[in-house]
Amino acid sequence: MKCKFIKDDTTLCNANAMSDSKYCYLHNPDISEEEKLNAQIKGGKGNTIKITEPLEPVAVEKVEDIVKLLADTINRVRSGEMEIKVANCIGYLSGHLTKALEIAELEKRIEVVERVVLNRK
């Protein structure tokens, strides 16, 4: 269900309503302005898990290392040891690193092919 709040320009808010209300969090009259402000400042209740110790560095030089890192990340999230935001960041960056490693490998292969072609001339 969508929020029933009507904005100044007479359009509906259109955000998702809270499960027990006709309004979204920001337009819910049952929630005080102080609570709404605190939620905006702190990033909501999903920001309550904090990393108490830095994660150990991981050497990532090939795709197999990324697979191991992602498996470790999945297990840490499942056991409650890792904040989901951190896991999402690791997953996102791992995707970019995988692409970079693949491109670097393709560049090496192209260089070899170019050398072979030039040597045949």
| Three-state secondary structure call for residue 12 | strand
Closest to 77 measured CA to CA, from 66, 89, 65, 93: 89
Predicted confidence at residue 72, as pLDDT, reads 95
- Provide mean pLDDT across the span 13-24: 89
Predicted confidence at residue 83, as pLDDT, reads 85
The number of beta carbons lying within 10 Å of the beta carbon of residue 57 is: 6
pTM score, whole prediction: 0.54
What are the pLDDT digits (tens) for 31-89? Answer: 898 888 877 776 655 555 566 678 889 999 999 999 999 999 999 988 888 888 889 99
Dist. CA 62–CA 56, nearest whole Å: 18
Dist. CA 28–CA 1, nearest whole Å: 14
Q: How confident is the model at residue 101 (pLDDT cuts 50, 70, 90)?
A: very high
Predicted confidence at residue 111, as pLDDT, reads 96
Predicted confidence at residue 65, as pLDDT, reads 96
Q: Is the pLDDT score of 15 beyond 60?
A: yes
Residue count of the chain: 121
